[in-house]
A and B are shown apart, each in its own frame.
Chain A
Amino acid sequence: MVESQEEIYHGIPASPGIIIGVARSLSRNHYTVAAESIANPELEAQTFRSAMAQVKASLENISASVLQRHGKEFSRIFDAQSMIAADEVWNKNIERRIREEKLSAEFIYDDEAKKVIAKLEESQDSYLKERIQDIQAVTSRLVAQMRGEKQTTIVGLEDATVVVARFLLPSDILAMSFKRNLGFATGVGGPTSHAALMAKSLGIPAVIGLGDVVDNITSGDSVIIDGYKGEFIVKPAQSTIKRYRKAKSAELELKRQLAELKSKPAVTRDGVSINILANIEIPGEANKIISAGAAGVGLFRTEYLFLTRSDFPSFEEQYEAYSSVLRRLGQRQVVIRTFDMGGDKFPEMTGHLFEANPFLGWRAIRFCLDRPAVFKIQLKAMLKASRCGNLAILIPMISNFEELIATKAIIEECRRELQKENIEVADKIPLGVMLEVPSAVLIAEHLAREVDFFSIGTNDLIQYTVAVDRDHELLSKLYQSFHPAVLSLIKTAVKAAHRYRKRVSVCGEMASDPLAAILLVGLGVDELSASYQMTAFLKKIVRSITYSGARRIAGKALGMKTQAEIEAFLKSEVARAFPDAMPVIQLSRRNSDG
């Protein structure tokens, strides 16, 4: 038997995990409906009515299970589709046209839907445009229903399945999320896209940003996705399958071993404790991080409260979100970051402003300080929620001293206003700033006196330090996490913080890379915050190393000239000094086997 050539593609690792299985190609919106004459239009109209009732019922079903399993933030995604399916006036008009024109229901529904889509496409408004996807989703459900195809068959599949699509809507991902052994591979999407966040939050392995290759995949193709390394392998050779089966069983074995670490502290072999925290985007994730054994929430990215909506959440909605997380976490600390929109995230929230250079533009704290009405609602919701648990507030994108002072003044103003309304606020709420702009790191001594902690956002800090857009295809080699300048900035930040007895945490992707985590601990970082799937791995890393050893390794690395030199040194030193850490590093590090 001749084996066809295996193909290996590199995408963005959006959600960790390995799936060895069968591809299921999802060619979204490719339903074709021709104008088909109908002999019995009355029967067609009745069939349409019951098909639409089915669509509505299945949307409600999905929404209800999603609500139960993942919470309101997720189930809300189905609201618009449910409303469309339930549009009586619209559906009556479809039935009338079926009777008059004697054409198939799918054709007429699609024809009417296209009129709405055409109008929405003319709009400049990205929210209105998003409804196009909802209309298409309902239409494709209706077409499938009329043709007797089941859309949710993926859930019933026995085999490990990798859903391959150009893009996936949050509603697609949710509707499929009940299947076990499921993974996603998509053509588009950045690491902070909705689909990526949702896959991560639901614990479904995913590789995204694969480009056109997804178009050439046929359902039934044998595939592997490696959500740790961002690899997508089509028609893998027997030897590759074998290698991945081994990696997968190593993963399961490691997870089994690590399960017992959940209740154990993250302490180095020489007795230094390092806090392992989790990042969350959605309040519903709070339960997951507790069961993963994290010491608290190191970063709650509040801008994702916009995930399923198009406007700024109200005071009440924000209070509800913050207080629910704080209550669930009890005494554990919850660091809530104020809105960080702009750059690549939710540019529409800053008002359709065109920016030639959004990453250097009107984003995060810059936006918030210019829009105090929006900012104050968020701060007040946080302050009110402070009585429900152990809150800390984190300010993103600080680039100068004045921004910090202005923010502190606004927080005090909010506190006074709440007290006037007799709303109780915790006496002492730790305040921290994100260090992600080199200018902030270089004035860290001044900032350290004014705050309670630093949180280093490595993604942006690296990008701003080496002047490389991290999503730029041609520059990916220049985006260097282990650039000596990056190490030196981290060291500077730690020194300044520790001089004033303030804590430093790292919440960027560097904290999720076990090898980098050792370096960070060695540089003096006190806390690491990564997605909850990494919690047990990071604990294992911390428990496998000695603090003195990590410091020695970091100290030597600081003196080196290039990333290549630093990375090679780290790998060999860690393998030699901390062999217990190697299984985790081998599993989750990109190119670790290369």
Chain B
Amino acid sequence: MVEREVSIVNRLGLHARPAAQLVQKASKFQSEIKIKRQNLEVNAKSIMGVMMLAAEMGSRLVIIAEGPDEKEAVEALAQVVQGKFGEE
């Protein structure tokens, strides 16, 4: 299992478009991928799940992956978040 903490740095947080980007990226991996915010843990491959995080700018998230490509998955998702989802 691999996990990494990231902060939401884009101004508008995990609104629909970034949430969709995250889900699309997560769906490319075989591993089971979860995202945790405070006590809430959701499946990173579900748009409803990711929206449920209601993650605004400044929120801290933990990305957790388990499976054959867990390392690559965490790396790729962290990059999407830290790259501000291509905003600005």
Residues of A within 8 A of B (CB): 79-80, 83-84, 87-90, 112-113, 115-116, 119-120, 122-125, 127-128, 131, 134-135, 309-311, 351
Contact = CB atoms under 8 A, between A and B. Distances in A.
Contacts of B40: 119
Given A125-B13, A311-B12, A84 B52 contact: no
B16 A80 contact: yes
B52 A87 contact: no
B47 A87 contact: yes
Given A80-B16, A310-B12, A311-B11, A131 B51 contact: yes
Chain A to chain B: the 4 pairs with minimum beta-carbon distance, closest first: A89-B46, A123-B54, A116-B52, A90-B48
Contacts of B23: 83
Contacts of B49: 89-90
B56 A135 contact: no
Contact of B43 (A89, A123, A125, A309): A89
A113 B54 CA distance: 14
Given A310-B12, A311-B87, A128 B56 contact: yes
Chain B contact residues (Cβ within 8 angstroms of A): what range? 20 to 34
A119 B53 CA distance: 7
Given A116-B52, A119-B40, A119-B52, A125 B45 contact: no
B2 interface: no
Contacts, number: 71
A90 B47 contact: yes
B31 to A, nearest CB: 14
Contacts of A116: 48, 51-52
A115 B20 contact: no
Interface string B5-32: 0000001111111001001000000000
B46 A87 contact: yes
Interface of B: 11-17, 20, 23, 40, 43, 45-49, 51-54, 56, 87
A83 B53 contact: no
A135 B12 contact: no
A120 to B, nearest CB: 5
A83 B56 CA distance: 20
Contacts of A79: 16, 20
Contact of B54 (A88, A89, A112, A125): A125
A135 B46 CA distance: 14
Contacts of A131: 15-16, 51
A84 B54 contact: no
B15 A127 contact: yes
A119 B47 contact: no
B54 A122 contact: yes
A310 B17 CA distance: 9
B15 A135 contact: no
Given A311-B11, A311-B12, A120 B48 contact: no
Among B14, B20, B46, B53, max chain A CB count under 10 A is at B46
11 contacts: A83-B23, A89-B45, A90-B46, A112-B48, A115-B52, A116-B52, A125-B12, A125-B54, A131-B16, A309-B17, A311-B87
A127 B48 contact: no
Contacts of B43: 89
Given A90-B46, A90-B49, A310 B54 contact: no
Contacts of A87: 46-48
Given A87-B48, A119-B52, A310-B15, 15 more contacts: A80-B16, A83-B47, A84-B47, A87-B46, A90-B49, A119-B53, A120-B51, A122-B54, A125-B54, A127-B12, A128-B14, A128-B54, A309-B17, A310-B16, A311-B11
Contacts of A90: 46-49
Contacts of B16: 79-80, 83, 127, 131, 134, 310
A139 to B, nearest CB: 11
Among A90, A135, A351, max chain B CB count under 10 A is at A90
A80 to B, nearest CB: 5
Nearest to A117: B52
Contacts of A122: 54
B66 to A, nearest CB: 15
A122 B55 CA distance: 11
A406 to B, nearest CB: 23
A371 B56 CA distance: 21
Nearest to B40: A119
A410 B37 CA distance: 42
B63 to A, nearest CB: 16
A336 B85 CA distance: 29
B54 A119 contact: yes
Contacts of B54: 119-120, 122-123, 125, 128
Among A87, A113, A120, A135, max chain B CB count under 10 A is at A87
